[in-house]
Amino acid sequence: MARYIFVTGGVVSSLGKGLSSASLAYLLQSRGFKVRIRKLDPYLNVDPGTMSPFQHGEVYVTDDGAETDLDLGHYERFSGVSAKKSDNITTGKIYNDVLKKERKGEYLGKTVQVIPHITDRIKQFIKHDSSKEDFVICEIGGIVGDIESLPFVEAIRQFANDVGKKNALFIHLTLVPYLKASDEIKTKPTQHSVKELRSIGVQPDIIICRSERPIPLEHRKKISLFCNVDIKNVIETVDVKTIYEAPISFFREKLDVQVLNYFKLKTKKPANLNPWKKITKIILQNKRQVNIAIIGKYVELQDAYKSLDEALTHGGIDNKIKVNLVRIDSEKLKISEIKKKLKNISGILIPGGFGKRGTDGKIEAIKYARMNKIPFLGICYGMQMAIIEFARNQLNLKNATSSEFDKKGLPIIGLLNEWSKDGKTIKGTDKDLGGTMRLGSYDAKLQNNTKIRKIYKSKLIKERHRHRYEVNIAYREKFEKGGMIFSGLSPDNQLPEIIELKNHPWFIGVQFHPEFKSRPLSPHPLFSSFIKAAKIINE
Ligand code: GLN
């Protein structure tokens, strides 16, 4: 039977629950255990698919086509295990399911209530499809004390009772602030947060204390005493220089050992930290640098392009070079400033996006990359914009556009609402915005004698999609004659998946999101190759 580890947060959000859960997953896995990580989000959206990246950060997409919280990206990158649709749930989805059942009369006339009906649905989510795992780590979004997280905490309290306390462990992550003025470390917020948690029936077994500086023993003792937690289970996590140090830091703090002790389990093999030590060293000791511009609409919020930032860093690790990300707001990018703004840039990346705002800046930047032979990678919307730029400026189709933002022009990018996958037809729609795009993993065939084929070293690839519009295949011949090759196609030859320029050192656009599959311990070939090209022109 699986053991369940619940991770809650206290005091403030953004303390790194996701990273802590992902690091713990890595450590347990490397000791020979099978681990699954799940996220429970307290907001009312059914999934984050319709949420703006400005607010919530990136929407992460799984192989099986779920639009999920970005923490699932951390989980995949650290644990190497592909997340599934069934690994993320929200309050909205839970209520949706319960209310659908209620309408069908499946509660047989009973009064439907938070306890037990909502909590039962949460417990069902935690447990389903987990019998083959050694551990299921469940992260509860938000912080303890929020009204919205109450049903989740209640559900995990009940759950521990259901499976027996020896099979369930509660980890609480809190902030231990340092006050400069008085040169003091404060444990009171942690005490209060644990008090809050205990008042709703959950006694933490392990407390992870996030702190700017090491926490002295006397303070740990205080936390142990006031919070009723064994001193060995008061674990500190001091700010790391790179997130890839996190598994090393938790290993030093014996988080994994304490978890195994709790469950009275012996390690199957020693934990292997060497891969993380190796990449941390590369990241921290790199003297050489390369500047990559990300030109998009959501540059203000750090987390809006989380997987992309990570994938570029991975490309840097593979090339032993530090990647400086220069974020440029496409809405504010004036045509007259492009040359100046992109002066010290060795690679230009246009990420995924939606809607008209900022498209002019993107198209101009693409033109600049094309004409000046600067390595260019266009992802999803970025590829669509590269197609429009080429059509307008090289093929002289001046009114070429996408029907996403212009219904009157020549729709080289158009709405497609049927896709074939594994012999089946999948229908999309733009009536309902949630979950109706081409989502998840699709095959693409790579053409012979193309750059992309050399990069992937494979004829058939699988990549994750999240879009509603497609490049119109009818223009293929025109584009190829003009020098832009459709080097990757869907297996039925109907959908252009990859484009590249013939007479350019490195100009590639992909209709999918390769960034979701890049991992620090196995960088994605497309990002490695892009950074390599940028490194070459930088020399
Ligand atoms: N807006 C575009 C579409 O729906 C691209 C989406 C994206 O970049 N993920 O097709």
Pairing outcome for strands 135-140 and 35-41: parallel
pLDDT reported for residue 461: 97
Domain shared by 331 and 480, yes or no: yes
| 333 and 271 fall within a common domain | no
C-alpha closest to that of 508 among 532, 475, 492, 473 = 532
Where a domain ends, among 248, 277, 306? Answer: 277
CATH number of domain containing 308: 3.40.50.880
Structure tokens at 224: 């142990």
Distance CA 102, CA 111 (A): 9
pLDDT of residue 427: 62
Report the C-alpha gap between 200 and 160 in whole angstroms: 14
Same domain, 306 and 222: no
**Can you give the three-state secondary structure of 295-342, one letter per residue?**
EECCCCCHHHHHHHHHHHHHHHHHCCCEEEEEEEECCCCCHHHHHHHC
Question: What DSSP state is assigned to residue 356?
Answer: S
Nearest atom within ligand 1 for CA of residue 437: 4
End position of a domain, from candidates 225, 254, 277: 277
Reply yes or no on whether 380 is catalytic.
yes
Band (244; pLDDT cuts 50, 70, 90): very high
Q: Which amino acid is it at 181?
A: A
Give the pLDDT mean for 170-178.
Answer: 96
Confidence of residue 503 (pLDDT cuts 50, 70, 90): very high
Is the C-alpha dihedral spanning 239, 134, 10, 47 positive or negative?
positive
Structure tokens given for 259: 């978890």
Our CA angle for 324, 330, 331, nearest 5°, is: 145
**508 occurs within a structural domain:** yes
Residue 211 exposure: Cα atoms within 13 Å on the Cβ side: 25
Cα 527 to Cα 111: distance, rounded to the nearest angstrom:
54
Q: What is the per-residue pLDDT for 20?
A: 95
Residue 119, in any domain of the structure: yes
Q: Within 164-199, where are the H helices?
A: 188-199
- Cβ partners under 8 Å of residue 91, min gap 6: 41, 42, 43, 44, 148, 151
Residue 288 to residue 316: CA distance in whole angstroms:
10
Q: Is the CB of residue 352 below 6 angstroms from any atom belonging to ligand 1?
A: yes
401 and 322 in a single domain? The answer is: yes
Return d(Cα 301, Cα 310) in angstroms, integer.
Answer: 15
Residue at 430 is within a domain: yes
**Residue 180 sits in the same domain as residue 256:** yes
379 and 510 co-located in one domain: yes
Residues in the chain: 539
Give the model confidence (pLDDT) of 151-172 as tens digits: 999 999 999 999 999 999 999 9
Does 116 sit behind a cis peptide bond, omega within 30 degrees of 0 on the bond before it?
Answer: yes
pLDDT top residue among 107 and 415: 107
**CA 463, CA 62: separation in Å to the nearest integer?**
10
pLDDT, averaged across the chain = 92
Q: Does 439 fall in a domain?
A: yes
Assess if residue 483 is contained within a domain: yes
Residues 333 and 427 in one domain: yes
What's the rounded Cα separation, in Å, for the pair 261 and 409?
66
Residue 480 CB neighbours (<10 A): 14
Same domain as 369, residue 295: yes
**CB of residue 404 inside a 6 A radius of ligand 1:** yes
- Catalytic one of 236, 470, 500, 515: 515
User: Is the Cβ atom of 263 under 6 angstroms away from ligand 1?
Assistant: no
Q: What is the pLDDT of residue 51?
A: 76
Q: Which of 255, 277, 299 is the last residue of a domain?
A: 277
- Identify the CATH number of the domain in which residue 143 sits: 3.40.50.300
Separation of 510 CA from ligand 1 center, angstroms?
A: 11
Q: Could you report the per-residue pLDDT of 323-377, keeping only the tens digit for each?
A: 999 999 998 888 888 888 899 999 999 999 999 988 999 999 999 999 999 999 9
Q: Whose CA is nearest to atom 1 of ligand 1?
A: 354
Among 156, 166, 100, 101, CA closest to 124: 156
Lowest mean pLDDT among 62-66, 223-227, 424-428: 424-428
| Nearest ligand 1 atom to alpha carbon 351 | 8
- Same domain, yes or no, for 268 and 300? no
Q: Is residue 352 domain-resident?
A: yes
Q: Which residues are bridge partners to 91 per DSSP?
A: none
- Domain with 402, as residue range(s), is 287-538
Co-location of 208 and 293 in the same domain: no
Q: What are phi and psi of 362, to 5 degrees?
A: -65, -45
For residue 225, the one-letter residue type is: L
- Going from the Cα of 470 to the center of ligand 1, the distance in angstroms, rounded, reads 9
Are residues 401 and 340 both part of a single domain? yes
- 139 catalytic per annotation: no
Distance (Å) from CA 498 to ligand 1 centroid: 14
Single out the residue of 374, 372, 373, 369 nearest to residue 385, CA to CA. 369
Determine what percent of the chain is predicted with pLDDT higher than 90: 76
**E strands in 330-437:** 347-350, 376-379, 400-402, 410-415, 418-421, 424-427
Residue 167 CA, distance from chain mean position:
29
Residue partners of 288: CB distance under 8 A and separation at least 6: 320, 321, 322, 535
The answer to whether the CB of 299 falls within 8 A of the CB of 328 is: yes
Ligand 1 atom, smallest distance to 513 CA: 9
191 in a structural domain: yes
Task: Give the number of domains in the chain.
Answer: 2
User: Is the beta carbon of 222 within 6 A of some atom in ligand 1?
Assistant: no
Write out pLDDT tens, residues 277-311: 999 998 888 889 999 999 998 777 878 899 999 99
- Shared-domain flag, residues 143 and 256: yes
Comparing 15-19, 270-274, 441-445, 461-465, the range with the smallest average pLDDT is 15-19
More confident residue, 334 or 5: 5
Q: Answer whether 0.85 is exceeded by the pTM.
A: yes
Q: Which atom of ligand 1 sits closest to the CA of residue 354?
A: 1
Residue 52 has pLDDT above 80, yes or no: no
Q: How many CA atoms lie within 13 A of 229 on its CB side?
A: 29
Any ligand 1 atom below 6 A from CB of 469: yes
Most trustworthy range by pLDDT among 389-393, 401-405, 533-537: 389-393
Q: Is residue 49 part of a domain?
A: no
Beta bridge partners of 210: 175, 237
Residue 414: pLDDT band (50, 70, 90) is: confident
For ligand 1, atom 9, name the residue with the nearest CA.
Answer: 352
